[in-house]
Amino acid sequence: MKKLSATGQKWLKSLHIFFASVWVGSAVILIIVQLFSKPNDGGELYGIIGTLDFIDLFILVPGAIGTFFTALIYSIWTNWGWFKHKWITVKWAICIFGIVFGTFWLGPWITEMSLIAKGAGLEALSDSTYLNNRFHSLLFGSFQTATVIFALFISTHKPWRGK
């Protein structure tokens, strides 16, 4: 299969870094806002959680998908390959885990929190489902964010160079 030119690889690298930055940045925001926001009324709570849901769906998800597809292009049309280096395999595992876990658990938890906050207002803060979703989205969202940040570091350091 034909490989990307040097210029094409530079563009691909720029896009990959951009999408990964969007993914990491929005993931960090989702955690920080949940940890430090103190809404005074139901409207504020819904505004905050609704905004987090928006960030998740319209910023984080496109960042994750863009990261996946640029990584796919890297694997197919450059010499990096799929499993040529252990660090690439680790990055693939992190990317796929992050997308699957975010799609089926993290995203739905935030969406449900938004719906509960919309209906219950500040009373959502005593709703068991809301609290359970908040706890899990903070715990596992922090873990996922840490793993994606770890992927950024291994991209720079490229440890485990052998197969």
Q: What is the pLDDT of residues 138-148, one digit of tens each?
A: 999 999 999 99
* Residue 4 belongs to some domain of the structure: no
Cα gap 54→46, rounded to integer Å: 12
- Is the pLDDT reported for residue 163 higher than 60? no
* Residue 82 belongs to some domain of the structure: yes
Average pLDDT over residues 25-53: 98
* Residue 101 belongs to some domain of the structure: yes
pTM: 0.94
Q: For residue 65, what are the domain limits?
A: 10-157
* Residue 83 belongs to some domain of the structure: yes
Average pLDDT over residues 62-79: 96
Count of Cβ atoms closer than 10 Å to residue 23 Cβ: 29
49 neighbors 55 (Cβ within 8 angstroms): no
* Residue 162 belongs to some domain of the structure: no
* Residue 126 belongs to some domain of the structure: yes
* Residue 2 belongs to some domain of the structure: no
Coil vs helix vs strand at 60: helix
What integer pLDDT is reported at residue 162 of this predicted model? 56
* Residue 1 belongs to some domain of the structure: no
Number of domains in the chain: 1
Q: How confident is the model at residue 160 (pLDDT cuts 50, 70, 90)?
A: confident
AA identity, residue 107: G
Average pLDDT over residues 109-129: 99
Count of Cβ atoms closer than 10 Å to residue 134 Cβ: 20
